[in-house]
Chains A and B, each alone.
Chain A
């Protein structure tokens, strides 16, 4: 459920975050294909350029492409709401831009349940984005359950990083 105050808080947070983000540089490298995991390095003076509306631009512009969940949970908290708000703002600049939200679970769950849980998490993020005005028809979901961890350890910190929903732009 979306709490009435959450988007307001999220908006304030995201404004601050957006203000900190880099402006698109002049030089434009090709946009990476595929998932949002291949983040380009924006650290150099003349590097980090991204085509407006590309996946690289999305990753560089939003607070994060990923929100995180507690064990077995799928609620979107205030920090997640801020992240999704920044995603919604970026999407508002590119009408018709489609995204896929990937839902994931950590390895400490049974396979089938984790598929269901990943679907739940992806849909929680989707519902939140729709509440922020993103068109429902623009957001697809896919659950990977525990099949695609980003953190490879078998410890609490790794599991926390793997319980996530990742927004990926469809290019």
Chain B
């Protein structure tokens, strides 16, 4: 199934405000002390009140995604959930706000919203086009200033209306935080059911907010450790379908899959390069595990590590020049960095405790890892310094970064029952929450922002 594209649209009908677009700084944020990229600032602006009434429509018509009036309300609800669930703002959604008229979208009644204590205001509209597409407009206003801060428009297929909401939430988030967007993205993970000694593990995918959930495999063969390709067209994952654990490249469009490498040896811990052209995998030969690289289109593999210890995993720096991986060559699990060709291998973790499952931030400034001595999620600088522990579960494992490098997902396992769930935490460690999944869940892998 080819993915339908979502077009960014230049919003044109709001002419009176066009000249002011993006020229007015968000005063409330500025007063909070400036957003320099330091994580310590988040508490200052996470109290920002944002009012998000249902989106207006020019006329109530039926669309494949429902009546356009109802759809406008749902758009507001999705945006509200995005902004609320990450603990970054204090949004108020359509459920507790009055509706707006179509003409209010470009001329908000600021007095009404300031009376409700809103600092920021999101307005929008949804229109059903003659070509079967939906057009969604998204506007962000500063209530105190009475001015527009940002606007975007999107043309989407009705089946992809949620993406317009995510794009709008991304616009609001980016404009107010100064960070890159991340809501319009997807997550691959492993859905778990059954008793602890016979867990059924299925490959599953969902949007970043849990919507559009889909099981990919039926659970007959144990599936583990999926990774979305950067273009979301395929998934790498481990399957026991042929008895031995091996990595497959699964094509989402066709449902076909192939082995990552033609070898009878077990392969595991698959990873994509940032450009999607290369795949890292770990392979055990005669009991000794090393890290290999192969082109995403197949062909000969290149062995990158060759010592007698367990070398496993691997995560590229955003520019693709370096790889951080895990090795027990010095005794216990520790994190190492090498150049992308396998040269210049050196240990970076010396902070105490075992360093496992390192993942390079998409921003390049941090490496997340599992402390495999106490099973907490932590981050450190790419040189191994400035270690900060972010979680405190009984067993937290396998961090994966949001596309903008501000949030980390991981899975948490309960002592005793072994039941696992997906959690996420921001870089302050304060905003921790569990993600809702239909059944138990593990091995999350967050993909990039959709184009």
**Chain A residues in 8 Å Cβ range of B196:** 149, 152
**Does B289 lie within 8 Å of A119, measured CB to CB?**
yes
Known: A111-B443, A143-B266. A116 touches B416 (CB 8 A): no
**Chain B residues in 8 Å Cβ range of A142:** 243-245, 266
Bound complex: CA of A137 vs CA of B398, how far in Å? 36
Bound complex: CA of A51 vs CA of B269, how far in Å? 41
Chain A residue with the shortest CB-CB distance to B370 = A110
**Chain A residues in 8 Å Cβ range of B287:** 74, 119-120, 122-124, 126-127, 141
Bound complex: CA of A110 vs CA of B266, how far in Å? 17
Known: A110-B357, A152-B197. A116 touches B395 (CB 8 A): no
In the complex, chain A residues 125-171 whose Cβ is within 8 Å of any chain B Cβ:
126-127, 141-143, 145, 147-150, 152-154
**Does B266 lie within 8 Å of A119, measured CB to CB?**
yes
**Chain A residues in 8 Å Cβ range of B266:** 115, 119, 142-143
**Chain B residues in 8 Å Cβ range of A107:** 395, 413, 418
**Does B284 lie within 8 Å of A143, measured CB to CB?**
yes
* Interface size class of chain B, counting residues whose CB lies under 8 Å from the partner chain: 35 or more
**Chain B residues in 8 Å Cβ range of A110:** 333, 356-357, 370, 372, 397-398
Judge if A26 is at the interface, Cβ distance under 8 Å: no
**Chain A residues in 8 Å Cβ range of B89:** none
**Chain A residues in 8 Å Cβ range of B165:** none
**Does B197 lie within 8 Å of A116, measured CB to CB?**
no
Complex partner residue of B289 from A108, A116, A152, CB under 8 angstroms:
A116
**Chain A residues in 8 Å Cβ range of B244:** 142
Judge if A109 is at the interface, Cβ distance under 8 Å: yes
Judge if B222 is at the interface, Cβ distance under 8 Å: yes
Complex partner residue of B268 from A72, A115, A152, A154, CB under 8 angstroms:
A115
Known: A124-B287, A142-B266, A154-B415. A111 touches B224 (CB 8 A): yes
The distance from the CB of B190 to the nearest CB of chain A, in whole angstroms, is 10
Known: A117-B310, A122-B287, A142-B244. A112 touches B357 (CB 8 A): yes
Known: A107-B413, A119-B287, A153-B416. A113 touches B326 (CB 8 A): yes
**Does B197 lie within 8 Å of A111, measured CB to CB?**
no
**Does A149 lie within 8 Å of B224, measured CB to CB?**
no
The distance from the CB of A7 to the nearest CB of chain B, in whole angstroms, is 20
Chain A residue with the shortest CB-CB distance to B244 = A142
**Chain B residues in 8 Å Cβ range of A109:** 372
**Chain A residues in 8 Å Cβ range of B357:** 110, 112
Complex partner residue of A113 from B201, B243, B333, B375, CB under 8 angstroms:
B333
Complex partner residue of B313 from A112, A122, A152, CB under 8 angstroms:
A112
**Does B284 lie within 8 Å of A154, measured CB to CB?**
no
Complex partner residue of B395 from A108, A115, A149, A153, CB under 8 angstroms:
A108
User: Please, what's the 1-or-0 string for B184-219, where 1 marks a CB less than 8 Å from any CB in chain A?
Assistant: 000000000001111101000000000000000000
In the complex, chain B residues 107-165 whose Cβ is within 8 Å of any chain A Cβ:
none
User: Please, what's the 1-or-0 string for B272-315, where 1 marks a CB less than 8 Å from any CB in chain A?
Assistant: 00000000001010111100000000000000000000101100
The distance from the CB of A95 to the nearest CB of chain B, in whole angstroms, is 24
**Does B269 lie within 8 Å of A112, measured CB to CB?**
yes
**Does B282 lie within 8 Å of A72, measured CB to CB?**
no
Bound complex: CA of A152 vs CA of B282, how far in Å? 28
Known: A108-B375, A109-B372, A143-B245. A152 touches B395 (CB 8 A): no
**Does A112 lie within 8 Å of B375, measured CB to CB?**
no
The distance from the CB of B336 to the nearest CB of chain A, in whole angstroms, is 14
Known: A117-B310, A143-B266, A152-B196. A111 touches B282 (CB 8 A): no
Bound complex: CA of A126 vs CA of B286, how far in Å? 10
The distance from the CB of A97 to the nearest CB of chain B, in whole angstroms, is 18
Bound complex: CA of A110 vs CA of B442, how far in Å? 12
In the complex, chain B residues 325-364 whose Cβ is within 8 Å of any chain A Cβ:
326, 328, 332-333, 356-357
Complex partner residue of A150 from B197, B199, B415, CB under 8 angstroms:
B197
Bound complex: CA of A111 vs CA of B284, how far in Å? 15
The distance from the CB of A124 to the nearest CB of chain B, in whole angstroms, is 7
**Does B416 lie within 8 Å of A154, measured CB to CB?**
yes
The distance from the CB of B255 to the nearest CB of chain A, in whole angstroms, is 25
The distance from the CB of A143 to the nearest CB of chain B, in whole angstroms, is 6
Bound complex: CA of A156 vs CA of B11, how far in Å? 63
**Chain B residues in 8 Å Cβ range of A143:** 245, 266, 284
Bound complex: CA of A110 vs CA of B415, how far in Å? 15
**Does A116 lie within 8 Å of B284, measured CB to CB?**
yes
Judge if B225 is at the interface, Cβ distance under 8 Å: yes
Bound complex: CA of A109 vs CA of B397, how far in Å? 9
**Can you show 17 pairs from A to B with CB atoms below 8 A apart?**
A107-B413, A108-B375, A108-B395, A110-B370, A111-B225, A112-B269, A112-B282, A112-B313, A116-B282, A119-B284, A120-B287, A123-B284, A142-B243, A145-B245, A149-B197, A149-B418, A150-B197
Hey, which bits of chain A sit against chain B, CB under 8 A?
72, 74, 107-113, 115-117, 119-120, 122-124, 126-127, 141-143, 145, 147-150, 152-154
Not counting A111-B225, A115-B245, a sample of 8 additional A-B residue pairs whose C-beta atoms are within 8 angstroms of each other reads A111-B443, A113-B326, A115-B268, A120-B289, A147-B199, A152-B195, A153-B416, A154-B415
Hey, which bits of chain B sit against chain A, CB under 8 A?
195-199, 201, 222, 224-225, 238, 243-245, 266, 268-269, 282, 284, 286-289, 310, 312-313, 326, 328, 332-333, 356-357, 370, 372, 375, 394-395, 397-398, 413, 415-416, 418, 442-443
